[in-house]
Amino acid sequence: MLDFNGVSISYGAVRAVSELSFAIEPGETVALIGANGAGKSSILKAIMGIAPIRHGSIVFENGKLDGLRTFQVVRRGIGYSPEGRRVFAATSVIENLHAGGHILPRPQVPARLAQVLDYFPRLRERAHQASGSLSGGEQQMLAIGRALMSRPRLLLLDEPTLGLAPVMVQHIGEVIRTVQAAEGFAVLVAEQNAVWALKLAGRGIVLEVGHKKFQGRSQELAQDPVVRAAYLGTD
Amino acid sequence: MFTFAILSQIALNGITLSAIYILVALGFTLIFGVMRIVNFAHGEFAMLGGFALSFFYVSLGLHFLVALPIAAVAVGAFSLVLERVVYRRFYQREMPGMIASLGVSIALMYGGVALWGTHQRSIPSAFSAVYTIGPIFVTAERVVVIGVCLVSLALFYLVLRFTRIGLAMRVVAEDRITAEAQGIDTVATYRFAFFISTAMAALAGGLIGQLFSLSPFMGLMPLVKAFIVVILGGLGGILGAAIGGLVLGLGESFVSTFYGASAAQFISFGLIIAILLFRPQGLVGRKEG
């Protein structure tokens, strides 16, 4: 459903990603793993039209995404939970979710809101609090819930476990799996926590300074001695 | 000297001024909050509102309360041309935006001189009734000014708080890129905020024209008042603008009654300098992060 064809991304003279190609099938989960600066975030930003691409093209469900503005990418059916969560701190939890549902027809918003709050009961307890007052884990739930509001067919998660307690990391993984099983969207997750990401994803792509170093099924990557040593922090 | 009658009369005059100041300041602070533009031409949109009101009310003979909103919408619509041609290029760039809007301000001011000349003109009073409530006199004109301001402030609040476009403006003000990643068309949101802002300025300009007089140079006063209100109340909030506007309007009214208009100007600017020195976030504002 998503085709990344020979895409290069540069910031000024600095090249973040070089001629990268990969594809995502409907309903599957793909993990982008690699160290800081490997280009994971840039790939998600390029899909969202936030980072400009220099070469190649990005195709989603037979339509080109490159050249679209970010809000138009969302309208094509892609949800995005940014790195650092970036909840609207001064607005309430409910209003953050409403913002996430901006593209839904108005009559559909209340039902979708109820559904998302069912996925994240903790957010329901905090519904009317300013989002800036939530804990890191709650803000991460809010960022994901907000991305889910638009009923995406592809969900992009940028570093969803960054800075979270282990219990919360595990909980977030469970919720993503549950919701995905219910709704059937595909997930592309960029994550430094490779162990967690490979458990969540069916396939993984290992990046190193903007290049694809390895790719394969998650179990194979998790057992590959080179990957284990370099990215899983084991052996 | 401080009889109840005199004090309430002064307070009433002060509240009329406050209402206009709040209207001007809210539009000013909206544009700054959403697109980070310090719009030096804000007062000129008020000036255009005054002349537009004069056109619809005096020249076309429409009812005052019909002509006023039409004038505001007309100025708002005209301002979108400038938004397209000038302002849009300067969003999120405070310094260049300030200089550009200063250019727009001067261009509009002298455009006004070319069109309408430099002599002051007045808008004939639309309401001549005078009511007496106990010892104080209330002109219908002031009732209309306060009423129009209250209705527009209430509408502004309701739109910002309870509508989809209102939420869009608030989240775009907080984090433009993340707002866009929710599917919000930030360019359209900017355009809407710009329209609301200049239309509110134009509304205030019409009321100023009605209470005082019209001239192409009349925009300076509302701009300066907007600055003072914003410094008093802190940037961004409705509450801050309301408090800032009330403090300024009432203060001016009292001081100018007892010590003359120049004393009022002196004290309001003296107060501003004191606040900038000792409480730069405004009376109710929080420090910017």
pLDDT band at B289; cut points 50, 70, 90: very low
Look at residue A50 in the predicted model and tell me its pLDDT.
95
> Which residues on A lie below 8 Å from B186 (Cβ)?
71
pLDDT at B273 over 90: no
Kindly tell me if the per-residue pLDDT of B20 is higher than 50.
yes
Is A50 a member of any domain?
no
Please indicate if any CB of chain A lies within 8 Å of the CB of B185. Answer: yes
Q: For tokens 């509110």, name the residue.
A: B200
**Chain B nearest C-alpha distance from A150 (Å):** 8
Q: Determine, yes or no, domain membership for A103.
A: yes
Mean pLDDT check: name the lowest of A80-84, A118-122, A229-233.
A229-233
Min CA distance, B19 vs chain A (Å)?
A: 27
Buried b (16+ CB within 10 A) or exposed e, A36-65: eebbbbbbbbbbbbbbebeebebebeeeeb
Residue B34: C-alpha distances to residues A2, A60, B63, B167, B197 (Å): 34, 32, 34, 12, 11
Alpha carbon of B156: minimum distance to chain A alpha carbons (Å): 18
CATH number at residue A116: 3.40.50.300
- List Cβ neighbours of B67 (8 Å cut-off, separation of 6 or more): B53, B56, B57, B60
Q: Do B170 and A90 touch (CB under 8 A)?
A: yes
Q: Is pLDDT at B198 greater than 60 in this prediction?
A: yes
Give the pairing type, strands A186-191 and A203-208.
Answer: unpaired
Does the pLDDT of residue A199 top 90, yes or no?
yes
- The total number of structural domains that make up chain A: 1
pLDDT confidence of A141, banded at 50, 70, 90?
very high
CA dihedral of A223, A228, A232, A233, whole degrees rounded to 10: 140
- For residues B114 and B118, give the distance between their C-alpha atoms in angstroms, rounded to a whole number: 8
**Do A69 and B183 count as a contact with CB atoms less than 8 A apart?**
no
Q: How many other CB atoms sit within 10 Å of the CB of residue A184?
A: 10
Task: Give pLDDT, residue B284.
Answer: 64
Measured between beta carbons, the chain A residues lying within 8 angstroms of B174 are 88-91
Is residue A199 a part of any domain in this protein? yes
Interface test with A, best of B34, B177, B178, B185 (most A CBs within 10 A): B178
* Mean pLDDT for the stretch of residues B182-205: 97
User: What per-residue confidence (pLDDT) applies to B94?
Assistant: 87
Q: How far off is chain A from B6, nearest CA to CA, in Å? A: 43
Q: B159: distance to nearest CA of chain A, Å?
A: 14
Provide CB contacts within 8 A for A6, sequence distance 6+: A19, A20, A21, A55, A56, A57
Partners of residue A50 in chain B, C-beta under 8 Å:
177, 181
CB-based contact, B289 to chain A, within 8 Å: no
3-class secondary-structure state, position A154? strand
Question: Does residue A136 form part of some domain?
Answer: yes
| Band (A225; pLDDT cuts 50, 70, 90) | confident
| Confidence (pLDDT) at A75 | 97
Compute the distance between CA of residue B107 and CA of residue B113 in angstroms, rounded to an integer. Answer: 10
What number is the average pLDDT over the span B259-275? 85
Tens digit of pLDDT for each residue in A12-44? 888 899 999 999 999 999 999 988 888 899 999
A162/B153 Cα distance (integer angstroms): 43
Q: What's the pLDDT band for B287 if we cut at 50, 70, 90?
A: low
Average pLDDT over residues A49-73: 94
> Residue B93 and residue B216: Cα distance in Å, rounded?
28
Residues B212-231: tens digit of each pLDDT: 999 999 999 999 999 888 88
The answer to whether residue A151 is domain-embedded is: yes
Which domain range does residue A126 map to?
A: 26-45+85-216
Order of strands across the sheet with A63-64?
A14-24, A2-11, A53-60, A63-64
The verdict on residue A188 lying in a domain is yes
Say if A102 falls within a structural domain: yes
CB B182 within 8 A of CB A151: no
Which is higher by pLDDT, A195 or A228? A195
Q: What is the mean pLDDT of the segment spanning A157-185?
A: 96
Rounded to whole angstroms, how far apart are CA atoms B121 and B267?
Answer: 29
| Position with higher pLDDT, B68 vs B288 | B68
pLDDT, position B115: 95
Tokens 């005059």 sit at which residue? B13
Interatomic CA distance for residues A78 and B72, integer angstroms: 39
Q: Quote the pLDDT of residue A235.
A: 46
**Residue B289 to residue B138: CA distance in whole angstroms:** 45
| pLDDT value of position B126 | 87
Beta bridge partners of A63: A60
Q: Would you call B179 an interface residue with chain A, using a CB distance cutoff of 8 Å?
A: yes
A88–B177 CB contact, under 8 Å: no
Query: Nearest CA to CA, how far is A83 from chain B (Å)?
Result: 10
Q: What is the pLDDT of residue A9?
A: 93
Each residue's pLDDT tens digit, A85-134: 999 999 999 999 999 999 999 999 999 999 999 999 999 999 999 999 99
What residue of B is the nearest CA neighbor of A146? Answer: B182
The residues near B12 (Cβ < 8 Å, ≥ 6 apart) are: B136, B138, B142
User: Chain A residues with CB inside 8 Å of B175's CB?
Assistant: 86, 88
Which tens digits make up the pLDDT trace of B226-248? 988 888 877 667 788 888 899 99
Q: Which residues of A touch B181 (CB under 8 A)?
A: 48, 50, 70-71, 74, 80, 82
Interface contact A99-B177, CB threshold 8 A:
no
Q: What's the average model confidence in pLDDT over B92-110?
A: 94
Contact A154, A63 (CB under 8 A): no
Between positions 212 and 271 of B, the ones with CB within 8 A of A are none
Chain-chain contact of B183 with A74 (C-beta, under 8 angstroms): yes
Q: Model confidence over B113-169: pLDDT tens digits?
A: 999 999 888 899 888 899 988 888 889 999 999 999 999 999 999 999 999 999 999
Question: What ranges make up the beta strands (E) of A25-142?
Answer: 29-33, 53-60, 63-64, 78-81
CB proximity B168 to A under 8 Å: yes
The pLDDT value recorded for residue B275 is 82
pLDDT for B31-85, tens place per residue? 988 988 999 999 999 999 999 999 999 999 999 999 999 999 999 999 999 999 9
The pLDDT of residue B230 = 86
Residue type, B36: R
Is B163 touching A (CB cutoff 8 A)? no
- What is the structure's pLDDT at A38? 85
The verdict on residue A57 lying in a domain is no
Q: In 3D, which of B93, B10, B54 has the Cα closest to residue B206? A: B54
**Under a CB-based contact definition with an 8 Å cutoff, are residues A156 and A47 in contact?**
yes
**Residue that has been written with the tokens 């002064």 in this structure:** B10
Contacts of B168 in chain A (CB under 8 A): 99, 102
Q: How far is CA B113 from CA A200, B119, B217, in A?
A: 69, 9, 8
Q: What is the mean pLDDT of chain A?
A: 93
**Using the beta-carbon criterion (under 8 Å), do A88 and B183 form an inter-chain contact?**
no
Confidence of residue B253 (pLDDT cuts 50, 70, 90): very high
